Every structure is written in C-alpha cells, then in structure tokens.
C-alpha cells in the first residue's frame, strides 16, 4: 500500500469573504478537482501499461513516493498564488497516479480485478458525496478537529512505513481501515473550510481534498484486494 499522506490543514476558521466569493472558491475547487482526475488516470494507465513502477518495492518505493509527493506538495504551496500553481498541481496528480499504478496492476491481476477497481472508485465517490453533503448541512465549527486528524494521519504514515518492512497483510488491512475513517473526516473538515471561508485558495483546497480522495481510494482498493481478490 502506498503511504497515506496527510493534508495540510489551516487552523483558522471563518473569513471576511462574502458568500459569492466563498461559492467561487468552492466552484473553482470542484472544477480543478475534477480536472486533476485526468492526469491521475493517465499516470495510472501509463504505470500499468509499461510496468515502470514495478521495481519500486520496499525501501526504494517508499523513498520515491514520499520524496516525490512531499516535494510536489512543497512546490504547490510555493506556487499556489501564481499562474504556475495549476500546472504544478496537475503534475503532482500525474505522479500520484503513476505511484498508484503498482497497486492497481496487482489488483487487476485478479480475475475480478476490474470490478474491484470500479468498486473502490464507486466507494470513494460515495464517501465524497456523503462528506460534501454533511459539510453543507453541519453548522458547527469543525476547526478543532484539524490537529487530531493531522496527528492521526502522521500515525498512519509511521505505521505504513513500518509495515513496508514487516510486510504484514493484517497490518495493511488495519491501516487501510483506519485510513478510510481518518481521511473521510479529513475530507469533511477540508470541505467545511472552503464552505465557511477558512480556506480561500482553491489550489490549496483542491490539494487537500485530492489527498483525502487518493488515500480513501487506495485504502479501499487495498482492502478489496486483500479480502475479495480472486486469483
């Protein structure tokens, strides 16, 4: 399983933005989020088709994944207020798709592999729909959750790094289950930040929500591969 990546929460809550401005940020976030799925799919397709990530196992895969992902996230934060922000974000999503391709290729090796991938995709879409709905309904300030969720994500990363060397299927199953819960709540928090005006940059907002979706999808895929895979 790829290592879960924490989002970068903002600890501010509330904003002086008008309702129209907040809606604009939310609308741009949704559009960019949808656009980001295209390079993700292309990256995954390239990885599966060429097997370019097949050798990225164990410690090597861990170094490439974490180094590339955190490097891109740093670049996105540096360029989010410039014209380069969107291309850098899309390059990041291509990289993430490429890194995900090894797991997808393994699942596609099962007889029911394609249906497992589609189930994981459908489950991720379902989580997004539920969290987006809750974010518009809940009126309570959720900013207090950010520190706890960020700490939970860091614990997941440490657990995932350990499991890379231990190679425990049960460990992966437990970590994947926890990741779904943590990043579902992270998604609720990140969406609420945009809706309430706590996040005013749509590139940063897209990055946070994309990471939530990515971690939920790969965790669902891991669980389905471990429990429902049929050689």
| Residue with the two structure tokens 């955190």 | 70
Whether 2 maps to a domain, the answer reads no
Domain assignment present for residue 13? The answer is no
Does residue 141 lie within any of the structural domains? yes
pLDDT per position as a tens digit, 146-190: 788 888 888 888 888 888 787 778 888 999 999 999 999 999 999
| Prediction pTM value | 0.87
pLDDT in tens, 5-39: 555 444 444 455 678 888 899 999 999 999 999 99
For residue 7, being part of any structural domain is answered with no
**Residues present in the chain in total:** 231
Does residue 89 fall inside a structural domain?
Answer: yes
Domain-located, residue 5: no
- Residues spanned by the domain of 75: 19-228
The answer on pLDDT for 67 being more than 70 is yes
The total number of structural domains in the chain stands at 1
Report H helices in the chain: 19-50, 58-79, 85-108, 113-137, 145-166, 169-196, 202-228
In a domain, 58, yes or no: yes
In a domain, 12, yes or no: no
Residue 127 burial (CB count, 10 A): 20
């Amino acid at each position: 399983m790829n290592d879960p990546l924490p989002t970068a929460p903002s600890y501010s809550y509330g904003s002086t933005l008008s309702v129209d401005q907040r809606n604009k940020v939310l609308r741009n976030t949704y559009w960019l989020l949808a656009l980001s799925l295209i390079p993700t799919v292309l990256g995954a397709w390239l990885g599966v088709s060429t097997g370019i990530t097949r050798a990225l196992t164990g410690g090597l895969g861990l170094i490439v994944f974490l180094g590339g992902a955190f490097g891109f996230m740093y670049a996105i934060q540096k360029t989010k207020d410039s014209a380069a922000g969107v291309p850098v974000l899309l390059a990041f999503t291509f990289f993430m798709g490429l890194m995900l391709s090894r797991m997808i290729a393994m699942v596609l090796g099962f007889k029911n592999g394609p249906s497992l991938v589609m189930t994981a995709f459908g489950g991720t879409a379902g989580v997004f729909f539920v969290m987006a709905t809750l974010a518009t309904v809940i009126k309570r300030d959720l900013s207090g959750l950010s520190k706890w969720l960020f700490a939970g994500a860091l614990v997941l990363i440490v657990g995932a790094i350990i499991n890379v060397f231990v190679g425990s299927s049960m460990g992966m199953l437990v970590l994947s289950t926890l990741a779904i819960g943590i990043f579902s709540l992270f998604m609720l928090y990140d969406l609420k930040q945009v809706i309430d005006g706590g996040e005013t940059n749509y590139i940063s907002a897209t990055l946070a929500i994309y990471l939530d979706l990515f971690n939920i999808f790969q965790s669902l895929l891991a669980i389905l591969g471990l429990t429902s895979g049929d050689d």
